[in-house]
Structure 1
Amino acid sequence: MSAARTQAGSMHSTDSIRWFRRYAVTAAPRRRLLVLPHAGGSASFFHPWGAAFDDDTEVLVARYPGRHDRMADPCIDDMAELTDSVTAALLPFLDVPLTLFGHSMGASLAYELALRLESRHGVRPAALHVSSRKAPHRLTPRPLHTQGDAALIAEVRRLGGTDDALLDDPDLVELLLPAIRADFTLVGTYGPRSAVPVGCPVHAYVGDEDPAVTPADMAAWADVAPHGFTLDVLPGGHFYLVEQRTALVGALAEHLVTS
């Protein structure tokens, strides 16, 4: 039994609770789904997912520092540091099979988590689901984090997923900008990196009108998926998962019960 699985039987630590919004099921879960939000995103974006799966599936959504109820916590702008922090907080939750889902920046984080869990803790996720993000060896980072606030807000608008009313409010933007800048620093300084394979199937998703990621970009995830790969192209843009939530959740639910 790995050290991670030994720790899994212990009570969840305060740090673990701080890092995840947990949508607990009524009985002991048979599996868990960890959702990793996009750059500038928060756990609240995925609140509708909390009760979207069967009673055997517990949903965890990562709560990145520097936003919402973690506003006082320093933002993290480095992928390795963020991955290490999430991995450590995740260890008590490895007593049942774990599936990872990451959207945009969260897809890269999910990939790094899969590698960390296997190489350092001997735990292979049941599956890795990646959405709207180029494969690690195909990344073309943009230095948006080196530009002014206006450039960051313009990119957030271009990609969608954030209410324009929030971005039009100077006071709210002032609150949002530290997390947005940290996240864009993280994605702007990560990759491209070697196509290190993961030890689980990989399932990729993308909108057919995404302005930043193409179906061909997502197909390249097959290069790190020797244990199986699928690609679903859904109607919509970078945040297709808002309009296509039913279809996406349905696909995830099917994979969860067969993993």
Structure 2
Amino acid sequence: MTGRDQAERELWIRRFHPAPGATRLLCLPHAGGSSSFFFPLATAVAGKLNVQAVQYPGRQDRRSEPPLTSIDALADALFRVLDPDDDSPLALFGHSMGAVVGFELARRLSAAGRPPTALFASGRGSPLLSSGGTVHKLGDAGLLAELRRLNGSELAPLKDQEILQMIIPALRADFRAVETYRPAAAPPLTCPVIAMVGDADPRVTVEQAGAWSGTTDGRFELLVHPGGHFYLAARRDAVVAQILERLRAEALA
């Protein structure tokens, strides 16, 4: 591995509490989100899982980089930077847009003979359902209104106008990536898929989350939590317990 490869890997993948040798849990953020969203989860499983959180271009310390506008481009980039020589188990946890990026990354890993241990798909309907949408075409006010609608009461209120203006380019690019995504034909995954959803999510119904069952020939499970789109902010302990329990079961299978 060259120094350039390592630098690119560190640009994309952040480690808050490294645990070498432990199962890697690669966390993929939602539209407009960043790696720091998963810091509380990483802290909660410190020493038990090696949490690695993705930092997409166009936000926080990567704000000067143009954001990517397609799910396939994001999945391709992540596939390139994942270390093929790291043979520790790898599970994927994607929230909202991150669930779709995780699905496409799982496809690429599987095609390369390196399927993930499991895919946790949170806050997103199955990628096999017809989607679309025009949020990415709205003006700034409409884009931020959608963000506030999804934000609900689970996260801190979005009031800082300077910060909001800074995230608009990445947020618009992310919505464009999600709304223009169409999955190519490919064999189903073989790894377990665990879908998670809030029972009051304004964007995803329980039925739509349950349709993830069609993405794998492996085991499927649907876990429904009280809450909205960002249910996992308030339900962190329960989510962590479920992740650890499922990954232990896979290790023993």
TM-score normalised by the chain length of structure 2: 0.91
Other structure's SS at 2:169 match:
helix
- What residue in structure 1 maps to residue 189 of structure 2? 198
In the alignment, does 2:218 pair up with 1:252?
Answer: no
| Alpha-carbon distance in 1 for matches of 2:35, 2:92 | 15
Are the counterparts in 1 of residues 17 and 47 from structure 2 also a CA contact under 8 Å? no
| Alpha-carbon distance in 2 for matches of 1:23, 1:196 | 34
Other structure's SS at 2:14 match:
strand
| Alpha-carbon distance in 2 for matches of 1:208, 1:239 | 11
| Alpha-carbon distance in 2 for matches of 1:162, 1:231 | 24
Aligned length: 247
Give the root-mean-square deviation of aligned CA atoms.
2.0
Q: Structure 1: which amino acid aligns with 2:13?
A: F
Q: Structure 2: which amino acid aligns with 1:17?
A: E
| Alpha-carbon distance in 1 for matches of 2:80, 2:122 | 24
1:105-124 correspondence runs (5 A)? 105-119=97-111, 121-124=112-115
In the alignment, does 2:62 pair up with 1:70?
Answer: yes
In the alignment, does 2:30 pair up with 1:44?
Answer: no
Are the counterparts in 1 of residues 123 and 196 from structure 2 also a CA contact under 8 Å? yes
Post-superposition offset of 1:12: 6.7
Which among 169, 194, 200 is matched to residue 209 of structure 1? 200
Q: Do the aligned partners of residues 90 and 103 (structure 1) sit closer, same or farther apart at CA in structure 2, a change above 3 Å counting?
A: same
Are the counterparts in 2 of residues 99 and 126 from structure 1 also a CA contact under 8 Å? yes
Other structure's SS at 2:210 match:
helix
| Alpha-carbon distance in 2 for matches of 1:146, 1:55 | 43
TM-score normalised by the chain length of structure 1: 0.89
Which among 86, 98, 116 is matched to residue 90 of structure 2? 98
Q: What per-residue deviation string (whole Å, max 9, x for no partner) do you get for residues 132-165 of structure 1?
A: 1111111422111112111111110010065434
Are the counterparts in 2 of residues 134 and 217 from structure 1 also a CA contact under 8 Å? yes
Q: Which runs of 5+ in 1 are unaligned?
A: 1-6
- What residue in structure 2 maps to residue 180 of structure 1? 171
Q: Which runs of 5+ in 2 are unaligned?
A: none
Identity of matched residues, %? 42
Q: What per-residue deviation string (whole Å, max 9, x for no partner) do you get for residues 9-65 of structure 1?
A: x99711101101113445x32310000010011111111112222624211000011
Are the counterparts in 2 of residues 137 and 194 from structure 1 also a CA contact under 8 Å? no
Are the counterparts in 2 of residues 195 and 224 from structure 1 also a CA contact under 8 Å? no
In the alignment, does 2:4 pair up with 1:14?
Answer: no
- What residue in structure 2 maps to residue 150 of structure 1? 141
